[in-house]
Structure 1
Amino acid sequence: MERGVIFVRVSKRDQDYQRQIEDLRTIAKTKGVKIVKEISEKISGIKKNIERGGLLELLNLAKNRAIDIVLVQEVSRLGRSTVEVLKVLEELSNLGVNVYVQNFGIETMKKGKRNPVAQFMFTLLAEFARLERETLRERILSGIDEARRKGKKLGRPDGTQEDKAAFLKKYPLVTRNLRLGISIRKTSKICDVSINTVRKVNDYLTP
């Protein structure tokens, strides 16, 4: 029986990954895979591989020959950067670990050999995901610029500014790191929040 890992990721802290896990558990049972570990991450997929604790745990299991297959819902769960995704796939393939991607029903390896069709598809899918994010970002920025040209006020409506204490309560880890003297940029990376949010917290904490 193959030994497998279920690997799931969501990019926002308020998102839930339980549905991903349940679906992959069903697939593992169907394929006769014994799940030895379920790894979940709540972290942006644009982070580099070395910054992702869950991914590093997965790779360590592969290096220790503890697993034969990794089950993911879609290739973007491994990361959103094309380069970083391909690095993961290459390392797992070199270690003889198969990757099964649910939404396309494809695997990186067949009978211990690399599946060239899967490798090609993953390269395209990862690149399409990157282009989609870039297009969305450009549309958002374009919309903001257009609103400004028309004189529209951006941000919260007047009289709805969030209370200082309520805002700080939403970011306890950011507050703690800043009080420990950790820099704004490093706090942003550690807590996986935007640098502007960290700056706002810092402004509130500054007498």
Structure 2
Amino acid sequence: MQQAVIFVRVSKKEQDYHRQLEDLRAVAQTQSVRVVAEISEKISGVRTNQERGGIQELLQLCRQGAIQKVFVCEVSRLGRSTVEVLQVVDELTRLGISIYVQNFGIETLKNGKRNPVAQFMFTLLAEFARLERETLRERILSGMEEARRQGKKIGRPDGTVEEKATFLKKYGSVARNLRAGLSVRKTAKLCEVSINTVRKVKTLL
């Protein structure tokens, strides 16, 4: 019997991942697969995979050689960008581990071989997820700009200050890109944050 891991993620603390778990458990049961671990995390999708404890735990389990399949509800659970998703897919494929994506009913491997349809779908779906996040971010920024034009105050209330260490930890990927020599604009695009946020990080470094 194949052994599998169920991996779920939600991006907000108030969101609940138990429905994802129940759905994926049911799928595993219909496929006669033994679930040996369930990994769940509540973390923003804009965090890099290196900053995500859940995805790192998943990769570590897979590298140990005892797993043959990973269940996820959506491809976007595997990374914040197309590149990150495909990196996970490529590594697990090299390890001989198939990824099952519930909402499309596709797997990356068929009889131990790459499923070209799934590979193509993963690329498209990961890119769609990235574009959706960018569109949402643009809408938020546009709404904030409109509020400013109307004279509304945006940001923290007067008299509140976020400590330097806390702020830099929150935007660790921004700090790393700046230290690596990337421009403010390029860093903002890669990390999916505002240019003002990147400038603030740069000032604090």
The TM-score by the shorter chain falls in which range?
A: 0.7 to 0.9
- The superposition leaves residues 129-174 of structure 1 with CA deviations (integer Å, 9 ceiling, x where unpaired) of 111111122222222223333x242459xxxx79x8xxxxxxxxx9
Q: Is the 8 A contact 1:8 1:39 kept in 2?
A: yes
TM-score when scaled to structure 1?
0.75
Task: Give the percent of matched residue pairs that are identical in Structure 1 and Structure 2.
Answer: 63
Which residue does 2:152 correspond to in 1? 153
* 1:46 has 2:29 as partner: no
Q: Matches of 1:52 and 1:148 in 2, distance apart?
A: 34
Which residue does 2:16 correspond to in 1? 16
* 1:58 has 2:58 as partner: yes
Identify unmatched segments of 5+ residues in structure 2: 174-192, 201-205
Which residue does 1:124 correspond to in 2? 124
Identify unmatched segments of 5+ residues in structure 1: 165-173, 200-207
- The superposition leaves residues 77-104 of structure 1 with CA deviations (integer Å, 9 ceiling, x where unpaired) of 1122111111000000000000000000
Over the aligned positions, Cα root-mean-square deviation in angstroms equals 2.8
TM-score when scaled to structure 2?
0.76
Instruction: Give the residue type in structure 1 aligned to 2:169.
Output: K
Q: Matches of 2:45 and 2:66 in 1, distance apart?
A: 25
From the CA coordinates, give the structure whose radius of gyration is larger.
1
- The superposition leaves residues 46-85 of structure 1 with CA deviations (integer Å, 9 ceiling, x where unpaired) of 2222221111111111111110000000001112211111
Is the partner of 2:76 in helix, strand or coil?
helix
Instruction: Give the residue type in structure 2 aligned to 1:122.
Output: F
Which residue does 1:2 correspond to in 2? 2
- Structure 1 residues 187 and 122, CA, compared in 2 at 3 Å: closer, same or farther? closer
Q: Matches of 2:42 and 2:57 in 1, distance apart?
A: 14
- Higher deviation after alignment, 43-52 or 95-104: 43-52
Q: Is the 8 A contact 1:106 1:118 kept in 2?
A: yes
Q: Is the 8 A contact 1:45 1:78 kept in 2?
A: no
